[in-house]
Amino acid sequence: MSFKTTAAVEAMKAEVCALHAELLRWGLVTWTSGNVSGRVPDTDIVVIKPSGVSYDELRPELMVVTDLDGKVLDGELSPSSDAESHSYVYRHMPEVGGVVHTHSPYATAWAARAEPIPCVLTAMADEFGGEIPLGPFALIGSDDIGQGIVQTLEGHRSPAVIMQNHGVFSIGKGPKAAVKAAVMCEDVARTVHISRQLGEPVPIAPHHIDALYDRYQNVYGQQPAPEEKK
């Protein structure tokens, strides 16, 4: 059975392609490393970066379309080597609509130390609801990384995980949210690293973390206007 594209799939190709430029803009990737994927809303279809293609060569038509098992449905190029991990996340975390992988330098330095990033900044409490957790070591080329991501993030408020000796994986309701989580992960990883050069960072009390997280997630920014009473 041949795959027939839709407007929603084409829109996701364009979005996923464009978001790769954000990884470069924020210094999260080098050469061809890293990848973004997005799940087409209300479908079992995923769009992901092709493997080994330079960022300046990416175009929407080069994005690879797969199902939730990682089977290629559309595209002439091979999908990212992390496609199986992305697929595993989508299968086991149905609320996720975007997955990002980077080797951003400061966050990956924490991964090399096999150490989670402690919640010592209000920005961390806002975005991650606590520490950025450490996931287990896993080899590339199967869904082992995906299993580690899901096991680590289940029951955790953080949209990012640093996988031991590897790098960052982040998730979101859509690919843009997952990219934001990757950007924020690198930002706080750098700041906490710098603070440790000066002394031991001071942790934020759990009840303050809860309050900060609730405010940022539910009050901060432009909230929809309340419905008028009839």
How does the average pLDDT of the chain come out, rounded? 95
Q: What percent of the chain has a predicted confidence (pLDDT) above 90?
A: 93
**pTM for the full predicted model:** 0.94
Grouping H, G, I as helix, E, B as strand and the rest as coil, residue 223 is coil
Q: What percent of the chain has a predicted confidence (pLDDT) above 70?
A: 97
pLDDT (tens digit, 9 = 90+) per residue, 185-217? 999 999 999 999 999 999 999 999 999 999 999
The pLDDT of residue 2: 77
Task: Using CB atoms within 10 Å of the CB of residue 77, give its burial: 0 to 12 exposed, 13 to 18 middle, 19+ buried.
Answer: middle
Name the pLDDT band for 227 (thresholds 50, 70, 90). low
* 164 φ, ψ (degrees, to nearest 5): -50, 130
Name the pLDDT band for 220 (thresholds 50, 70, 90). confident
Grouping H, G, I as helix, E, B as strand and the rest as coil, residue 212 is helix
Name the pLDDT band for 142 (thresholds 50, 70, 90). confident
Q: Residue 190's Cα: distance from chain center in Å?
A: 18
Assigned token pair, 73: 């449905």
Amino acid identity of 126? D
Task: Using CB atoms within 10 Å of the CB of residue 201, give its burial: 0 to 12 exposed, 13 to 18 middle, 19+ buried.
Answer: middle
| Domain annotation for the chain: domains and CATH numbers | 7-218 (3.40.225.10)
Name the pLDDT band for 174 (thresholds 50, 70, 90). very high
* 27 φ, ψ (degrees, to nearest 5): 70, 35
pLDDT (tens digit, 9 = 90+) per residue, 26-40? 999 999 999 999 999
Name the pLDDT band for 225 (thresholds 50, 70, 90). low
| Mean pLDDT across 154-173 | 97
